[in-house]
Structure 1
Amino acid sequence: MFKKFAPVLILSVVCLFGCKDTTTQPQPIALEELTIANIHEAYKNGTYTSEALIRAYLEAIDSLNANINAITTINQNAIAQAQALDEEYKKTKVLRPLHGIPMIVKDNINTIGLPTTAGALALKDFIPEDDAFIIKQLKDAGAIILAKSNMAEWAFSAMHTKSSTGGTTRNPYNLDYVPAGSSGGTAAAIASNIGVIGLGTDTGNSIRGPSSHCALVGFRTTLGLISREGIAPLFLRNDVVGPMCRTVEDATRVMEVMAGYDIDDPITKNSQGQIPDNYTQFLDENGLKGARIGVLRELSDNNIDSDIEALFNTALTDLSALGATVIDPVVIPDFKSLSQDQWCAKFREDIEAYLARYVKRDTMKTLEDIIRVGTTAEFSSKRLSQYTTASGRWGNSGAECLDAYHDQRRIAFREAIEQVMDSLELDAIVYPTWNYKPARIDRFEEDYKGDNNQIIAPHTGQPAFTVPMGVSPGNLPVGLQFLGRMFDEPTLITLAYAYEQGTKHRTTPAKTY
């Protein structure tokens, strides 16, 4: 059984040779809902060190992970890295942007010295020779990788988080339910306060779905803002990596470090000239005053759980009360037809390129090699089999599969949305992140009725942020999603932060499991 209290670390002083210990015992570190700002204030005040904090989080993982099964690998060098950062701070008295902040990294992101398995037996023993571009950025900013997190195998499932290397991850708010997929391990860990900041990847759902299910903030940023180099892909034309955190401020700080051009991910060239000096300047608790918010009812009309609908309508009332003008509904001309025929089956092409560049094994070059090694997950087995023959668009248009800046179907979809936003002078469009509550683990396929994450942003390339919207019966969190224009993360940060600060829907899961 897990402890019913927040894990703490107590540092003691041993007095030798019978001497009298007159030192004051340091206060234990309460980990629940710590933020980057909280931690840096503690470092400055000498309340605790980075080493002490890392030890406390390792104790928390040991205490709390067994039943949620969020963590796959512990970084054995985390304490040494914390000690080095403590020594640096003693000398410089300067904290890096993420100095000593414990980070949970999804298991499809390359990290030196740690397995990067993508949840698959085919990569069970793969340890990258180099960090992914974003991991280098985060380490340079002072973040410490605490652990790798479980994921849906190959990121195949939006519905649940199960892998051959890590098993099944459970939702910390109700262990019988899924944390969605595929970044469910990161979501469950950060929600449970066994890490401070988390990374997920999102091909269609996998940052925003798990964040919604676990009362977190999840940023799917503009396609091209953040490098995907060194990340095992699902469909690279849609893939995004981004922060999963307990607060908008922390997610913003993590995004700020990662944003920028990477020569090894050509799509990030589109970010040049689009990134402000800093993103934290847009954290305005009054940011909804005078804002114009559109409601895309077409995503939820006649297809929404009554409890989620009630929470969504309350959220719209809250947006108005916080100063926004809510335009309900907004209609995108030809929305249904534009949203169709957007998916392209690119897994074979993308994963084989990853294997060639990073894994570099003669026995692991092709999709057939992956299938030969096998999987313990029936769901993954079906998907792998499908991708042996699937290629090109899933629809019948025959249009070429290109990135969001050159694919005419994607551009047309985005332009239709942004033209309506422009005509109505909208700052963002909102809708429920999922229309239904999390599914039970034992019947995740039957309970899954679709989600709103996979319909717009993965294809148009637009940014979409989810923020806690409340809790539905069964103690199951749900999220509100803000959709913005390309590279308009500043506006989404302002709106999401103001909504978060005005409603305070984030809750901590009870440590009673």
Structure 2
Amino acid sequence: MQPEDFVFERSIAELQDAMSSGRSTSHALVQAYLRRIAAYDQHGPAVNSIITLNPAAAAQAEALDHERRSGRLRGPLHGIPILLKDNYDTADMPTSGGTPALAGLQPERDAFQVRRLRQAGAVILGKTTMHELACGITNISALTGATRNPYDPGHVPGGSSGGTAVAVAASFAAAGMGSDTCGSIRIPAACQSLVGLRITPGLASRSGIMPLSPSQDVGGPLARTVRDLAIMLDATVGPDPDDPATLAAADHIPPSYLAQLEPDALGGARIGVLPDLFGAQPEELEISDIVRQALAAMRDLGARIVDVHIAGLADMMRNSNVIAHEFKFALAAYLSGQPHAPVKSLAEILRQQRHHEQLDAVLRLRDLPQTPDSPAYDAAQAARHALRAAVTACMQQHRLDALAYPVLRTAPVAIGTPMSGPNSQLSPGTGLPAIAIPAGYTRLGLPVGLELLGRAYGEQSLLNYAAHWELAGGRRRPPPYTPALG
């Protein structure tokens, strides 16, 4: 007999071992996760991370159990329940983008990465809440309300992939999928003591993911462990003819990120610290101290830690953001490909006046551009090229393997309070990959994240550094408001 809450904090490998040994089944995993969701998502701390549960999940799990009994095993994700951010198209569930205007949108086919996950044997347990239209980092939405942080339900979980992060942190699934345009994987990972990776653009397809900014959008996983992150990455990367950027990146994908994880990669790694990205305000000093302590611990593991400076970094980062120039047109293009879309433009969404009041100003600003090209857009793209050149030159000059800085300069704020995340633009502005890893906790017990930015297609190195950090003790502990069920 399974213990009452045998899925709590369990890794994909542990769940796979339980199924392979006959101690559990995929169907039993689905039921166990559903019990946790029933206990904590709308009850107890009411973290409010799930927008849709897949009514066919149990039947799909049973079919995968039958495959296992018949001798067919698809791989590490066979029978593993996962969750998707609600901007991934799913043919069997609506895709709302977190907005009431699209609550009834039913895509005709799965996003490319969702198809890959199903082919790998994953059970799509459901969809998670998100900051409305991915236009923020506190995870509020007129459709679902506020999502709560299971480390303190009075605080935000980060966003815009906040629902996925909360659900994974609270053991509502083994792992989950988010998207990152300007921090939307890394910020909630930091706020939930998870690992979250923003990939080099092109490694995984964006086809079927509701867009925010094509120049900056990527989709990818969040997980409680680095090995789980690597398993999810292995299942989702690869070329897709519907996303031409993936064709050029195909040669940079190793046979398996999981198989090439190294336990001692920090030994000898040269990591450049960017002091300009550390906060100096009173509310920021505790975060800066925690991240500095984590970097000191990495030095004890053999890393070379050096402070470096990039002239004009803050201005280049701020000026390189192209979301405001691209969102309106990218959303319209996506909706034009959805035969059942209830609206076809951002302007229609605004006319309905059902969006969250906190988004009104930003959405109206993003509806202003009249053409995809403008002098302001050209200037932003030029800033992107300048930023990448400056960062690349710094890494070459100092022979750096990665750059380090806090994911956020402050702790997760109280719900209803604005939160900024300027550091998150460095990765999308340069097109270089970055990983968020747990660095520690504030005096109030809120998680703090450390970000490592690598070289182009340097995902394996970033995963290896994170794996060494995790094996050496890491910093993750489970959220106190969603404990194991009794």
Return the TM-score normalized by structure 2: 0.94
SS in 2 for 1:105: strand
- Do the aligned partners of residues 26 and 71 (structure 1) sit closer, same or farther apart at CA in structure 2, a change above 3 Å counting? closer
Offset at 1:286?
A: 1.1
CA distance in 2, matches of 1:271, 1:120: 33
- Do the aligned partners of residues 429 and 387 (structure 1) sit closer, same or farther apart at CA in structure 2, a change above 3 Å counting? same
CA distance in 2, matches of 1:230, 1:183: 16
Partner of 1:145: 124
Partner of 2:396: 422
**Counterpart pick for 1:350 among 317, 330, 333:** 330
CA distance in 2, matches of 1:118, 1:460: 26
Partner of 2:408: 434
**Counterpart pick for 2:463 among 465, 469, 493:** 493
Offset at 1:471?
A: 0.8
**Counterpart pick for 1:47 among 13, 16, 23:** 23
Deviations 1:328-354 (A, max 9, x none): x11224424433421222111000001
Partner of 1:278: 256
The letter for the 2-side match of 1:453 is: S
| Alignment length (residue pairs) | 477
Deviations 1:414-468 (A, max 9, x none): 12212221222211111111110111003x12xx2544112x1111111010001
CA distance in 2, matches of 1:512, 1:312: 26
CA distance in 2, matches of 1:391, 1:487: 35
Deviations 1:194-237 (A, max 9, x none): 11111111110110111100111011111111111111111121
SS in 2 for 1:319: helix
The letter for the 2-side match of 1:231 is: I
Structure 2: gaps spanning 5 or more residues: none
Partner of 1:8: none
* Range with bigger deviation, 263-272 or 51-60: 263-272
CA distance in 2, matches of 1:40, 1:287: 27
CA distance in 2, matches of 1:64, 1:431: 33
Root-mean-square deviation over aligned CA pairs:
2.0
* Range with bigger deviation, 337-346 or 468-477: 337-346
Mapping of 1:101-120 within 5 angstroms?
A: 101-120=80-99
Partner of 1:187: 165
1:88 matched to 2:64? The reply is no
1:70 matched to 2:44? The reply is no
Given that 1:341 and 1:394 are in contact with CA atoms closer than 8 Å, whether structure 2 keeps it comes out as no
The letter for the 1-side match of 2:424 is: N
Given that 1:40 and 1:95 are in contact with CA atoms closer than 8 Å, whether structure 2 keeps it comes out as no
- Do the aligned partners of residues 396 and 489 (structure 1) sit closer, same or farther apart at CA in structure 2, a change above 3 Å counting? same
Offset at 1:192?
A: 0.6
Partner of 1:325: 304
Partner of 2:386: 412
SS in 1 for 2:449: strand
- Do the aligned partners of residues 183 and 115 (structure 1) sit closer, same or farther apart at CA in structure 2, a change above 3 Å counting? same
Partner of 2:343: 364
Partner of 2:295: 316
CA distance in 1, matches of 2:358, 2:118: 35
**Counterpart pick for 1:245 among 204, 223, 235:** 223
Given that 1:122 and 1:374 are in contact with CA atoms closer than 8 Å, whether structure 2 keeps it comes out as no
Given that 2:193 and 2:448 are in contact with CA atoms closer than 8 Å, whether structure 1 keeps it comes out as yes
CA distance in 2, matches of 1:287, 1:389: 47
Partner of 2:444: 474
CA distance in 2, matches of 1:281, 1:398: 41
The letter for the 2-side match of 1:313 is: R
Deviations 1:128-151 (A, max 9, x none): 110000000010001111111001
CA distance in 2, matches of 1:108, 1:57: 22
Structure 1: gaps spanning 5 or more residues: 1-24, 402-406
- Do the aligned partners of residues 301 and 94 (structure 1) sit closer, same or farther apart at CA in structure 2, a change above 3 Å counting? closer
CA distance in 2, matches of 1:117, 1:408: 33
1:464 matched to 2:434? The reply is yes
Given that 2:183 and 2:424 are in contact with CA atoms closer than 8 Å, whether structure 1 keeps it comes out as yes
CA distance in 2, matches of 1:153, 1:162: 6
Partner of 1:196: 174
- Do the aligned partners of residues 337 and 161 (structure 1) sit closer, same or farther apart at CA in structure 2, a change above 3 Å counting? closer
Offset at 1:486?
A: 0.8
Partner of 1:11: none
- Do the aligned partners of residues 427 and 154 (structure 1) sit closer, same or farther apart at CA in structure 2, a change above 3 Å counting? same
The letter for the 2-side match of 1:173 is: Y
SS in 2 for 1:263: coil
Offset at 1:95?
A: 4.4
CA distance in 1, matches of 2:195, 2:189: 6
Given that 2:279 and 2:409 are in contact with CA atoms closer than 8 Å, whether structure 1 keeps it comes out as no
Given that 1:101 and 1:144 are in contact with CA atoms closer than 8 Å, whether structure 2 keeps it comes out as yes
* Range with bigger deviation, 366-375 or 99-108: 366-375
Mapping of 1:13-32 within 5 angstroms?
A: 25-32=1-8
Partner of 1:502: 472
* Range with bigger deviation, 287-296 or 93-102: 93-102
- Do the aligned partners of residues 265 and 505 (structure 1) sit closer, same or farther apart at CA in structure 2, a change above 3 Å counting? same
- Do the aligned partners of residues 427 and 379 (structure 1) sit closer, same or farther apart at CA in structure 2, a change above 3 Å counting? same
SS in 2 for 1:380: helix
Greater C-alpha Rg: 1
* Range with bigger deviation, 374-383 or 239-248: 374-383
Deviations 1:363-387 (A, max 9, x none): 6222222122332410222222222
CA distance in 1, matches of 2:434, 2:16: 29
CA distance in 1, matches of 2:374, 2:333: 24
- Do the aligned partners of residues 385 and 93 (structure 1) sit closer, same or farther apart at CA in structure 2, a change above 3 Å counting? closer
The letter for the 2-side match of 1:139 is: R
The letter for the 2-side match of 1:169 is: T
Return the TM-score normalized by structure 1: 0.89
SS in 1 for 2:466: helix
Deviations 1:270-308 (A, max 9, x none): 312111111113322211111111111111153571211
Given that 1:221 and 1:489 are in contact with CA atoms closer than 8 Å, whether structure 2 keeps it comes out as yes
Partner of 1:157: 136
CA distance in 2, matches of 1:492, 1:212: 16
**Counterpart pick for 2:267 among 289, 299, 306:** 289
Q: What percentage of aligned pairs have identical amino acids?
A: 37
The letter for the 1-side match of 2:143 is: T
- Do the aligned partners of residues 93 and 138 (structure 1) sit closer, same or farther apart at CA in structure 2, a change above 3 Å counting? closer
Given that 2:454 and 2:462 are in contact with CA atoms closer than 8 Å, whether structure 1 keeps it comes out as yes
- Do the aligned partners of residues 505 and 179 (structure 1) sit closer, same or farther apart at CA in structure 2, a change above 3 Å counting? same
Partner of 1:20: none
CA distance in 2, matches of 1:207, 1:367: 24
SS in 2 for 1:474: coil
Given that 2:349 and 2:355 are in contact with CA atoms closer than 8 Å, whether structure 1 keeps it comes out as no
SS in 2 for 1:128: coil
Partner of 1:36: 12
Partner of 1:453: 424
